[in-house]
Amino acid sequence: MYLPEDIDDILQHAENAVLEFKEARTNFSDGDRSDYCAAIANMGGGRLLLGITNDKNIVGTTVYQGTINQIPQRVYQAIGITVAVEEVQHSQGRIVIFDIPPRPVGQRLRSNGGKYTYPIRRGESLGEMDDVMTKEILNEVQPDFSAGIVEGLTLDDLDEVAVTDFKNKRAEKAGNIGLKTASILQVLSDAELTRDGKLTFACLLLLGKKEKISEFLPQAEIIYEWRNDPEQIHHDFRMSWRLPYFLVYNEVWNTINARNIRIPYQEGFLQQEVLAFDEKACREAVNNAVAHRDYSISGRSTIIHASPKSFIVISPGGFPNEITPENVLNAPPHWRNRLIAEAFERTMLVERSGQGIDNIFETSIRQGKGLPDFAGTNDGTVQINIPANVKDAEFVKFLEKVANEQQIIFSFDEIYELEKLREKKILSVLNHKEKFLKLGIIEKVGKTSGTKYILSHRYYSYQEKPGVYTRIKGFSRESKKELIMEHIRREGKGRRDDFIDAFPELQPNDISNFLQELKREGKIEREGSDRAGYWRLKSDQS
């Protein structure tokens, strides 16, 4: 908590990269707040004081009066870090002070709504982060927690059953049956779970006895909760494990599978079914959480929430570096706990690095369940939500029909793009569109800058839902022009804003193009100035 004399002490320092004074007597915009907080965090953290001029005169401020407790959450929503915000009643005026932490290692902070994308402080001004600084930040090495040494941990502290399973799976993956009888020290060394003969945290997490995990790393716990209704607060069943992972990974899946649900759907005259919880997808999600969670965060466990509607895995620690929910499928592989991830690869518990999330998404799409998402993810948590219910089995069957007819195979990227289009119904940006147009899977709607894409009439006919196609595609160009004419005929005149209200799906330029076409066709004419004028029917059209 700051006192008035603390403000006096701060004023003894000149403004620099991590100290900023802003006059802000009555206003400080959200964009400026986002820019300055991100810039100071990008420079290593510091303070922002409102109510003080650049020449360090206290003038006071009325900003955030009565709402100051809401500001940390607004900053967090804007740039993803938690700042402390206080007000200090100085004898010369009220001061608002922001305590801004440094950006995470290897991650630059993006502003939201301000003038800059990745702001930094240059002298007493703000500027955009250049390529050199960006490269330096992205190349920062975050220590591999799992490679740290657990002092005092010995081979006697490892669980024999877990060790045996690990050796067997290493032998199977390597195609070397001799590893089953090799010494444990040799197997651990080959798997890089030791450092100079000492055991690592990865070794503890994967193979250590229960009491040793509880002693050295109690947060290495997996909690499973089942809810009959995903909206209810209390759980209907709960199970937890604080044991070596190579002892429990099958038990975790068996617990999940015990409440699996067979979801029926109709395919022609045949009743088909799909499991709510796909084994491969669920195992991948849990394995990813174990391999990539932040074990330096104490007091938080890896959580699995399951219900008839969804399968959710929540792991402590946000996405590392520049990875976001939006680019996670295309981002290069990143290992927060590289030794654990590599141990999983060496024993076939996971696919090759970077492919696990792809497999989860592809499985969900191909089962007609739609797209998983990362709602609930923030800088302290990664949450993956995998749907359990079949949403549109017809979509998958349609793609299979096209693939069989054309003798082609759709890549994951292609079915992912098409699934996004299926869910959103209409998109203005679509990858692989030329291929999709050629195959007759999609259609263009609109022209020039207003061009959008929808699934084709062929798809909706296959679904026996041509009315949905008509609704999504909307009226033809000529029909829209006739509606404009009808509006002017009924109202006696029409302004462009009227037609923007009538066709919210169109760009203002598209509306202008319609009006100019009608003018060239001799059907309407302009009356008055550009700002205050309007369109009316030509006399021979009345």
Query: pLDDT digits over 81-127, tens only?
Result: 889 999 999 999 999 999 999 888 778 899 988 899 999 988 778 99
Q: How far apart are CA 250 and CA 246, in angstroms?
A: 8
Structure tokens at 357: 């999330």
Residue finishing a domain among 106, 138, 170: 138
Q: Are residues 161 and 100 in the same domain?
A: no
- Beta pairing, strands 222-226 & 198-199: unpaired
Q: Are residues 462 and 500 in the same domain?
A: no
Between 412-424 and 393-406, two packed helices, what is the crossing angle to 10 degrees?
140
Q: Are residues 172 and 60 in the same domain?
A: no
Q: Give the domain CATH number at 103.
A: 3.30.950.30
Classify the C-alpha dihedral 156-158-162-166 as positive or negative. Answer: negative
CB neighbours of residue 426 within 10 Å: 16
Q: Please say whether the beta carbons of 421 and 453 come within 8 A.
A: yes
Q: Are residues 281 and 362 in the same domain?
A: yes
Query: pLDDT digits over 302-339, tens only?
Result: 999 999 999 999 999 988 766 888 888 877 667 789 89
Residue finishing a domain among 473, 498, 524: 473
Q: Are residues 149 and 234 in the same domain?
A: yes
Q: Are residues 408 and 494 in the same domain?
A: no
CB neighbours of residue 400 within 10 Å: 12
Q: What is the pTM of this model?
A: 0.65
Q: Which has the closest alpha carbon to 343: 333, 358, 353, 334?
A: 353
Structure tokens at 181: 């009888």
Structure tokens at 58: 């206290």
Domain count, the chain: 4
Per the structure, the complete domain to which residue 434 belongs is given by: 393-473
What are phi and psi for residue 306, nearest 5 degrees?
-125, 145
How do the pLDDT tens digits run along the chain, 542 residues long?
Answer: 788 888 988 898 888 888 999 999 999 999 999 999 999 999 988 999 999 998 899 999 999 999 999 999 999 888 988 899 999 999 999 999 999 998 887 788 999 888 999 999 887 789 999 988 887 887 776 678 999 999 999 999 999 999 999 999 999 988 889 888 899 999 999 999 999 889 999 999 999 999 999 999 999 999 999 999 999 999 999 999 999 999 999 999 999 999 998 877 655 555 567 899 999 999 999 999 999 999 988 889 999 999 999 999 999 998 876 688 888 887 766 778 989 999 998 898 876 555 678 889 999 999 999 999 999 998 889 999 999 998 888 888 899 899 999 999 998 889 999 999 998 888 888 889 899 999 999 998 877 666 888 899 898 888 888 877 777 776 667 778 888 888 898 888 888 888 888 777 677 888 888 898 999 999 999 988 777 788 999 876 65
Residue finishing a domain among 323, 357, 390: 390
